[in-house]
Amino acid sequence: MRVTAHDVAEAAGVSRSAVSRAFTEGASIAPEKRQRILSIASMLGYQPNRIARGLSGRRTGLVALVFGRVSSPYEAWLLDHLSQAIRARGKWPLLLSAFPEGELDGALAHALSYQVDGAIVAAGSVSRTLAERCAALGAPIVMVGRILDGVAVDAVCCDNALGMRQLVELLVSEGRHRIAWIGGKAEAFSNVERQAGLLEALSGWGLEPWARRVADYSVEGGMLQALALLTADERPDAILCGNDAMALGAISAARRLGLGVPEEIAIAGFDDIPAAAWEPYLLTTVCNPVAETAAQALRLLEQRIDDGARPHEVVRLTPRLVRRRSA
């Protein structure tokens, strides 16, 4: 039914070993023999079974991609780049998404049963023990958008503090001093860093947040919190949001109240998702460099696969201020 190396060997009059070598980069086999085997194989429609190949000790070529939901704009965008980067290296993404909250360890452990060559984690938080276990099994982890203190894991992450500094500087230079903050999921790494960055940047100007609110990184959440901020007795003159989605919601809130953006209220986000550039919004934000994030994550993963003992590396990517109309 399925064409195997055996069939090809027979058709080519060589051993199964030779067939295997023909498909193995750098194996010692006569060049013309390899050519002949390869062409016979393709005629027969033979392709080495990756499962068998994985079993006999070589890599499976599978890379686990760990996401929460993949339908929020930033995640979808990152996933797109990451899966392309993985495919570009001849590997395959095994998508691990929407696992129940807090079950990352179990889910990753399960992924290990597929002998993934590595994992790129863009959601949740990896425990030290799991990271070590993965490494021991030859399936190193790279974290994206999060950095674990005291856990030796490669990571690539946007310089959130710098991004907030850029935004605050822009706002303050425009004369805004009543700057409110709508943070995202409280425990999320990006949220913690962005909020800390905001506080530090503000204090550099002798300021404090005008008000602080928490939403869930969603458009609707941002809208609700912004409504609360904008209907308070003393209104802020600017709202900084923990991500773009919430900022889009905040713009809608301002409009609903008949407030001019940015005249009466400046609004800015973080990430620069595609929708930020859509006409009704023209959101001023900071660009979280997704393509570079994906590229670096794969570089780190491959280097770690090649040399499990190299020192761990944390790459900080520089965000870029994108000024549109909302601030």
Q: Which residues bind a second copy (CB under 8 A)?
A: 1-2, 45, 47-52, 54-55, 60, 62, 65, 69-71, 73, 75-77, 79-80, 83-84, 87, 92-99, 109-115, 133, 136-137, 219, 223, 248-249, 251-252, 255-256, 274-275, 278-281
The answer to whether the beta carbons of residues 256 and 224 sit under 8 Å apart is no
Amino acid in position 318:
T
Q: Which does 201 bind (CB under 5 to 8 A by kind): DNA, a second copy, none?
A: none
Cβ-based nearer residue to a second copy, 65 or 171: 65
H/E/C letters for each residue in the chain?
CCCCHHHHHHHHCCCHHHHHHHCCCCCCCCHHHHHHHHHHHHHHCCCCCHHHHHHCCCCCCEEEEEECCCCCHHHHHHHHHHHHHHHHCCCEEEEEECCCCCCHHHHHHHHHCCCCCEEEECCCCCCHHHHHHHHHCCCCEEEECCCCCCCCCEEEEECHHHHHHHHHHHHHHCCCCCEEEEECCCCCHHHHHHHHHHHHHHHHCCCCCCEEEECCCCHHHHHHHHHHHHCCCCCCCEEEECCHHHHHHHHHHHHHCCCCCCCCCEEECCECCHHHHCCCCCCEEEECCHHHHHHHHHHHHHHHHHCCCCCCCEEEECCEEECCCCC
Q: Which does 106 bind (CB under 5 to 8 A by kind): a second copy, DNA, none?
A: none
Q: How far is the CB of 187 from DNA (least distance, A)?
A: 35
> Does 15 interact with DNA (rule: CB under 7 A)?
yes
Residue 100: how many CB atoms within 10 A of its CB?
8
> Does 256 interact with DNA (rule: CB under 7 A)?
no
The answer to whether the beta carbons of residues 67 and 75 sit under 8 Å apart is yes
Q: How far is the CB of 299 from DNA (least distance, A)?
A: 23
Q: How far is the CB of 115 from DNA (least distance, A)?
A: 8
Tokens 């998404």: give the residue: 97
> Does 91 interact with DNA (rule: CB under 7 A)?
no
Cβ-based nearer residue to DNA, 14 or 230: 14
Q: How far is the CB of 52 from DNA (least distance, A)?
A: 3
Cβ-based nearer residue to a second copy, 93 or 140: 93
Cβ-based nearer residue to a second copy, 75 or 154: 75
Cβ-based nearer residue to a second copy, 39 or 203: 39
> Does 61 interact with DNA (rule: CB under 7 A)?
no
Q: How far is the CB of 307 from DNA (least distance, A)?
A: 17
Cα gap 176→95, rounded to integer Å: 44
Q: How far is the CB of 276 from DNA (least distance, A)?
A: 46
Cβ-based nearer residue to DNA, 17 or 231: 17
Q: Which does 6 bind (CB under 5 to 8 A by kind): a second copy, DNA, none?
A: DNA
Instruction: Among 52, 98, 136, 232, indicate the residue that binds DNA (CB under 7 A).
Output: 52
Q: How far is the CB of 297 from a second copy (least distance, A)?
A: 16
Chain positions contacting DNA, by CB under 7 A? 2, 4-6, 14-21, 23-24, 27-30, 33, 46, 48-49, 52-53, 55-58
